[in-house]
Amino acid sequence: MNYKDKYGSYALITGASSGIGKEFAKQLAQKGLNLVLVARRKERLETLKQEIQTDNKVEIHTIGIDLLSDNFLETIRAVTDNLEIGSLVNNAGVMYIGNYLDCPLEKDLQMIDLNIKVPAILTHHFVPKMVERKKGGLIFTASLLGFMGTPYATTYAGTKAHEIVKGEGLAYELKPHNIDVLTLNPGLTETEMTADNDFSGMPMKLMKPDVVAKTAIDALGKKVLVSPGFMNNMLNWMSKRIMSRKMNTNMFGKLMKKTF
């Protein structure tokens, strides 16, 4: 599949300076897409830009912006208004693991804003233009934890549940406009988000971010939901077919309590 023909010439990726977002950038460039990379750490984006352009003849714009700032969309628009953003990867997110009441309210609200509000703003801005062009691709990075109530990651799991349900609905609505929508639901992945916790007691190993990104890129246009990794898929299948919601919550409560 020719990604540029199918989706348009540019992909915009949030949270592109590390982890899964960085891998999205590298692998979409290999597909021939030009990139707009968005993250707080401008210097990391510039380093990534140079790395990608060493091996790929693509145009890359970097935007160093805190997506929790009030004017973030205006900053992005200043770069993108004259570009054909055919793919939007809503990847930026933040996670807190620990007792719910130990998480300050400000941080809890920031998690909601970054994981839900920011993707909503970007989707409302870029997708109407995809509708006009009758083509586009939209990826939401959610989480396996979004399929169940998850103790000690309560707000994070709730925000990802929101993205899962929204993605499923949008996939149906946007299909007549030739726009593919995918919600990526990784399990635990080796990123900065998981670096401060001990997941050795989990039944699966942390996945590599390049494998997670590739799974999403390969699934776009073929699936609506995708969970990378055999064990993650097995766990997801068991949670839907065998275990009740209460059983899932109890199991993950016991597992997550061991991580902090």
Give strand pairing partners of 61: 36
What pLDDT, in 10s, does the model give residues 73-114?
A: 999 999 999 999 999 999 999 999 999 999 999 999 999 999
This prediction's pTM:
0.95
Q: How far apart are CA 102 and CA 108, in angstroms?
A: 10
Q: How far apart are CA 256 and CA 240, in angstroms?
A: 20
Nearest C-alpha neighbor of 137 from the set 112, 92, 167? 167
Cβ-contact 202, 159 below 8 angstroms: no
Cβ-contact 193, 172 below 8 angstroms: no
* pLDDT reported for residue 192: 83
Token pair for 11: 């992909």
* pLDDT reported for residue 103: 97
What pLDDT, in 10s, does the model give residues 114-151?
A: 999 999 999 999 999 999 999 999 999 999 999 999 99
* pLDDT reported for residue 1: 81
Token pair for 192: 């900065």
Cβ-contact 239, 248 below 8 angstroms: yes
* pLDDT reported for residue 199: 80
| Region label for 221, one of left (φ > 0), alpha (ψ between -120 and 50) or beta (otherwise) | left
* pLDDT reported for residue 237: 82
When the candidates are 3.40.50.720, 3.30.70.2470, 3.90.1150.10, 3.30.1490.20, the CATH number that belongs to 3-259 is: 3.40.50.720
What pLDDT, in 10s, does the model give residues 5-59?
A: 999 999 999 999 999 999 999 999 999 999 999 999 999 999 999 999 999 999 9
Q: Would you please indicate which residues are annotated as catalytic (active-site) residues?
A: 156, 160
* pLDDT reported for residue 241: 82
What pLDDT, in 10s, does the model give residues 208-236?
A: 999 999 999 999 999 999 999 887 888 77
Q: Determine the average pLDDT of the residues in 177-202.
A: 89
* pLDDT reported for residue 201: 76
Annotated domain spans of the chain? 3-259
